[in-house]
């Protein structure tokens, strides 16, 4: 008759150490689980079953032990199972006398006044629960005279004065010995019982017991014991084990057999002898006959070959195609916050990362430098970089705008917007560029900001509100594309701030007839310089202006004007949105 047991480990671990094996030098681990461990666990649960129901007949427990011991054992082990790294933890070892370390005290030598008033040579302050001043007093031999509450404020002030300048005497006070649990460091070895996959969605161990001694009564008792088993091995090995009845098609074939003779690659397994008695099986490990033997009476070593673990294969990841969006936002975190003048430094460094990430994605990891990229990859990144495959600026301001949304004078969000939605690869490039902190310093300066992706539930910043409005005001400083003043300090004809604002509006197909423009200087800001412009006579620091635009008719947003408008400068918002430089 064949008995089939199905055992699972809900926590995925089987904690056990083979018999008489030093845990710190366990060469194999216990896998497959030992039949000797299983029968001892079953017999232990039979006593619980008897206490609960009283239904075990005389000799029934012996019949169950005999049926198990005379059965041939085989297993079906999970395909993906391996030995765990093991744990190291302190546990109580024995209850006995402990010797705590001594406490060091520094005794204050008392002044003549204190010696007369307190009748002691030394003193030390004692912490009192109610906060009252308490001194422990000592004689000239540093023997304790007990504690005393100091009611006289003059004495207490005198002690505090003496404490600052008086000489001290160090003593060691040994606390009384106490009986306590002495800890020891224990190695907790375990076996990972498998990981779920398509072939084995619920990793488990199948036991196959084949013998002629099984009958209806022993099988019923075995099933009653198994349902009461909550752990197997050490208490950390939470388990569920049951008797399989029917459903033969769902039972796998055994893949681990026992052998009497050891061969290469086999591991020892502690099994029962066919003639093992109930007394031998249920003997305590403290019993001299068990503790002093290399093999428990009634047990024997057999050998098993663990099934070959299949070659690991990467689990296919479902391809998630992101919806096309026109706005990507990141929360900004930093120990040192960037200021308004650092806006372009932040946006251009993030833009450079995005371009490299996009080129890496599109080339399969072979290209990440735009200057060395082939023409087709340059064209693929044109709406991010703002340059065509020949390195010329795109016409019509169709490419992405990188800008910072400010709240209460601090950079709250880094945003990337484009009229044409971002596709899946571009969004992957944004997320990949934000995975590591973004450095803002120069020459090893550790200044960085952290970017955290935000989902679509975060509303867009007010500057992207498409609602038409007549009055628009700058959120970030407007930098004229051309110099307002000539080298001699005089205003250049046709290049005033107002005239350059109107020219920028005209370049973006916005009406300029009847438009009123007011401008005021707000300070210096940094602009974006391409690689070819760096090192020329001009520098990256320019005067920024706060600009108010009044249209005769409402105009829709967003409006971005001036130099570095695709890097966060010259950003406008409707005046009704509470806009203003630094307002957000």
Helix (H) or strand (E) run with residue 359 in it: helix 343-363
Confidence at residue 559, expressed as pLDDT on a 0 to 100 scale:
92
* Residue 85, C-beta contacts closer than 8 angstroms, at least 6 positions apart: none
How far is Cα 145 from Cα 119, in angstroms, rounded to an integer? 9
Q: How confident is the model at residue 198 (pLDDT cuts 50, 70, 90)?
A: very low
User: What is the phi-psi region of residue 380: left when phi exceeds 0, alpha when psi lies from -120 to 50, beta otherwise?
Assistant: alpha
Q: Identify the weakest region by mean pLDDT among 480-489, 505-514, 535-544.
A: 535-544
CATH classification of 2-88+185-304, choosing from 2.120.10, 1.10.10, 3.30.70, 3.40.630? 3.30.70
Q: What value does the mean pLDDT of the chain take? A: 88
Q: How many CB atoms within 10 Å of residue 271?
A: 22
Angle at 74 between CA 68 and CA 77, to 5 degrees: 130
Alpha helices in 406-466 (DSSP H): 424-433
Confidence at residue 582, expressed as pLDDT on a 0 to 100 scale:
53
Confidence at residue 584, expressed as pLDDT on a 0 to 100 scale:
45
Question: Looking at the predicted structure, is the pLDDT value of residue 200 above 70?
Answer: no
Whole-prediction pTM = 0.51
CA distances from 419 to 172, 324, 327 (A): 79, 11, 9
Confidence at residue 557, expressed as pLDDT on a 0 to 100 scale:
87
Question: Looking at the predicted structure, is the pLDDT value of residue 173 above 90?
Answer: no
Whether 462-577 and 2-88+185-304 are alike in CATH topology: the answer is no
| 176's tokens | 């009384």
How far is Cα 454 from Cα 437, in angstroms, rounded to an integer? 16
Give me the percent of the chain exceeding a pLDDT of 70: 94
Please provide the DSSP assignment of 93-134 as one string.
Answer: EEEEEE-PPPEEEEEEEPPHHHHHHH--SEEEEE--TT---E
Q: What is the pLDDT of residues 387-406, one digit of tens each?
A: 888 888 888 888 999 999 99
Question: Looking at the predicted structure, is the pLDDT value of residue 199 above 70?
Answer: no
Q: What is the pLDDT of residues 535-549, one digit of tens each?
A: 555 677 888 999 999
Name the 3-class secondary structure at 66: helix
Q: Identify the weakest region by mean pLDDT among 171-180, 374-383, 412-421.
A: 171-180
How far is Cα 15 from Cα 330, in angstroms, rounded to an integer? 45
Domain segments of the chain as ranges: 2-88+185-304, 103-174, 325-453, 462-577
Question: Looking at the predicted structure, is the pLDDT value of residue 115 above 80?
Answer: yes
Q: How many CB atoms within 10 Å of residue 181?
A: 12
Alpha helices in 386-469 (DSSP H): 424-433
For domain 462-577, the CATH class is: mainly beta
Name the 3-class secondary structure at 158: helix
Q: How confident is the model at residue 357 (pLDDT cuts 50, 70, 90)?
A: very high
Please provide the DSSP assignment of 9-62 as one string.
Answer: -TTSEEE---TT--GGG-SS---SPPHHHHHHHHHHHHHHHHHHH--PPTTHHH
């Amino acid at each position: 008759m064949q008995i089939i047991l199905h055992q699972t480990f809900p926590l995925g671990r089987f904690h056990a150490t083979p018999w008489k094996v030093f845990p710190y030098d366990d060469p194999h681990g216990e896998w497959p689980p030992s039949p000797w461990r299983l029968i001892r666990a079953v017999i232990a649960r039979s006593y619980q079953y008897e206490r609960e129901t009283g239904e075990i007949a005389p000799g029934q427990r012996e019949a169950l032990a005999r049926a198990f011991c005379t059965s041939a054992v085989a297993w079906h082990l999970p395909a993906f199972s391996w030995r765990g790294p093991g744990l190291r933890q302190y546990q109580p070892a024995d209850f006995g006398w402990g010797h705590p370390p001594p406490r060091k005290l520094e005794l204050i030598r008392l002044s003549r006044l204190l010696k007369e008033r307190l009748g002691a040579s030394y003193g030390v302050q004692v912490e009192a629960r109610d906060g009252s001043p308490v001194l422990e007093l000592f004689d000239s031999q540093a023997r304790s005279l007990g504690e005393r509450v100091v009611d006289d404020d003059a004495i207490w002030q005198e002690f505090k004065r003496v404490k600052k300048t008086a000489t001290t005497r160090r003593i060691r006070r040994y606390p009384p010995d106490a009986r306590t649990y002495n800890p020891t460091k224990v190695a907790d070895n375990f076996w990972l019982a498998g990981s779920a996959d398509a072939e084995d969605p619920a990793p488990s161990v199948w036991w196959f017991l084949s013998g002629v001694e099984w009958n209806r009564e022993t099988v019923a008792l075995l099933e009653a014991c198994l349902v009461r088993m909550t752990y197997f091995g050490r208490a950390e090995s939470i388990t569920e084990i049951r008797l399989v009845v029917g459903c033969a098609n769902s039972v796998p074939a055994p893949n681990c057999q026992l052998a009497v003779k050891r061969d290469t690659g086999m591991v020892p397994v502690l099994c029962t002898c066919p003639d093992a008695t109930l007394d031998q099986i249920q003997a305590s490990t403290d019993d001299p006959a068990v503790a002093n033997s290399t093999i428990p009476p009634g047990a024997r070593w057999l050998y098993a070959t663990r099934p070959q673990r299949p070659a690991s294969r990467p689990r296919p990841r479902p391809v998630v195609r992101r919806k096309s969006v026109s706005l990507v936002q990141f929360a900004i975190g930093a120990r040192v916050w960037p200021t308004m003048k650092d806006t372009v430094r932040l946006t251009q460094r993030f833009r450079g990362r995005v371009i490299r990430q996009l080129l890496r994605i599109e080339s399969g990891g072979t290209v990440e430098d735009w200057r060395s990229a082939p023409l087709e990859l340059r064209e693929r990144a044109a709406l991010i970089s703002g340059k065509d495959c020949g390195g010329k600026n795109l016409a019509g301001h169709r490419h992405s705008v990188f800008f910072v949304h400010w709240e209460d004078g601090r950079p709250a969000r880094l945003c990337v917007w484009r009229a044409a939605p971002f596709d899946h690869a571009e969004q992957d490039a944004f997320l990949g560029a934000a995975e590591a902190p973004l450095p803002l310093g120069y020459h090893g300066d550790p200044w960085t900001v952290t970017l955290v992706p935000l989902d679509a539930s975060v509303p867009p910043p007010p500057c992207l509100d498409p609602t038409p409005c007549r009055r628009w005001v700058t959120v970030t400083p407007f930098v004229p594309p051309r110099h307002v003043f000539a080298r001699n300090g005089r205003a250049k004809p046709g290049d005033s701030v107002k005239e350059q604002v109107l020219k920028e509006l005209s370049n973006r197909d916005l009406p300029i007839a009847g438009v009123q423009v007011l401008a005021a200087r707000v300070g210096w800001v940094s602009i974006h310089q391409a690689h070819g412009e760096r090192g020329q006579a001009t520098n990256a620091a320019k005067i920024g202006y706060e600009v108010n635009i009044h249209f005769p008719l409402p105009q829709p947003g967003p409006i971005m004007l001036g130099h570095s408008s695709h890097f966060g400068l010259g950003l406008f918002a409707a005046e009704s949105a509470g806009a203003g430089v630094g307002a957000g």
